[in-house]
Structure 1
Amino acid sequence: MTRLPRPALFLDRDGVLNEDRGYVYRWEDFCWIPGAREAVAAFNARDWWVFVVTNQSGVGRGYYSEDDVHALHARMTEELAAAGARIDAFYHCPLHPEALQDRYRHPDPPDRKPNPGMLLRAMADWPVDATRSVMVGDKAIDLEAGRRAGVRSLLFPGGDLFAFLTAEVASD
């Protein structure tokens, strides 16, 4: 069965879904941005794909492991489900030009924002209508990744994510 393309909401993680407290990888350090769960649920209800695209250089720098990233995303998934929301897929990039381990070192990782690799992978994995999709980030590199992937990009200034997206993204 072929699924019809639909728009996607691409979300940076730290600074958009949760407070950016610097290399967040433990649940006890995680704090949702106001309106984040409600925003995800609203886009789920509108039949949009919702993807997280997050640089995780802390893995490459040796601060934490990819298992830690997966564990945090699993907890996020549980909390979102309790709020009637879901992330369709998480994409993360542990690579960094100055990574401690060779397996995480790359001079210009294609998935590391501002490169568009994570967004392009999501669009290859899922039937995404890029022309109606949106990337939301809190840094210029997030917006650049969205632009390079051919999707509209929005700079989240902080505050309530649901209110921000309600104002910025017209209902279809």
Structure 2
Amino acid sequence: MLIEDSGYPHRPEDVVLIPEALALVPAANARGVAVGIVTNQSGIGRGLFDWPAFSSVQVLIDKAVQALGGHIDFVLACPYHADAAVLRYRREAHDWRKPAPGMIAASAHELGLDLARSCMVGDRISDMEAAAAAGIPHRLLVGNADRVDQGDVHCTPVPRSGLAAALAQSFSA
């Protein structure tokens, strides 16, 4: 959740970065906390853009994080979708597509992460559901003031302006 959800972001010039979220990355890095991105990318499966376009957005994000002194440890993306136009990505359900926990489980296995000590920061309920299914206890649903009340019992709704404090509080509890 480092960029605005604009549907199918695939051109760097159309991407809007979220400064409050970007600032968390170097802070986590400084504490030895792995930072990763797990993202549904049905736009690839739907044929709206390709992997190089996705990569160009990731380069933009990486540069923004590096400018703040941080780094992203891993990125996993799921192109699968029931309505995919690209046949190899057409699946009714795929264990990597959130709300399934597959991307989280794969990253935890690969990097040796302790999910019981992890946190998911996301802007969709499907992010929170995937984190809950993976056993992540700290789940922050981020949004603007009119979206904060749309959270459910499985997460803590938090406005962007309170993101750093909410993340610190979730780990001190």
Instruction: Calculate the TM-score normalised by the size of structure 1.
Output: 0.85
For the pair 1:157 / 2:143, whether they are aligned, the reply is: yes
Report if aligned partners of 1:34, 1:160 keep a CA contact under 8 Å in 2.
no
Render the CA deviation track for 1:96-133: whole Å, top value 9, x for unaligned.
Answer: 11101211111101100000011001001102111110
Which amino acid in 2 is paired with 1:62?
A: G
Alignment partners' CA distance in 2, 1:120 and 1:62: 27
For the pair 1:141 / 2:140, whether they are aligned, the reply is: no
For the pair 1:167 / 2:156, whether they are aligned, the reply is: no
Report if aligned partners of 2:26, 2:71 keep a CA contact under 8 Å in 1.
yes
Alignment partners' CA distance in 1, 2:168 and 2:91: 35
RMSD, matched Cα: 1.5
For the pair 1:30 / 2:29, whether they are aligned, the reply is: no
Report if aligned partners of 2:80, 2:90 keep a CA contact under 8 Å in 1.
yes
Q: How many residues align?
A: 156
Q: CA deviation at 1:155?
A: 1.0
Alignment partners' CA distance in 2, 1:114 and 1:35: 24
Tell me which residue corresponds to 2:62. 77
Tell me which residue corresponds to 1:87. 72
SS of 1:35's equivalent? Answer: helix
Q: CA deviation at 1:46?
A: 1.3
Out of 122, 127, 132, the residue aligned to residue 112 of structure 2 is: 127
Which amino acid in 2 is paired with 1:156?
A: V
Identical amino acids, percent of aligned pairs:
37
Higher relative contact order (CA 8 A, sep 6+): 1
Which amino acid in 2 is paired with 1:166?
A: A
Which stretches in structure 1 are left out of the alignment for 5+ residues?
1-15
Report if aligned partners of 2:96, 2:103 keep a CA contact under 8 Å in 1.
yes
SS of 1:96's equivalent? Answer: coil
Alignment partners' CA distance in 2, 1:169 and 1:92: 27
Which stretches in structure 2 are left out of the alignment for 5+ residues?
145-158
> Which range moved further: 76-85 or 107-116?
76-85
Which amino acid in 2 is paired with 1:89?
A: F
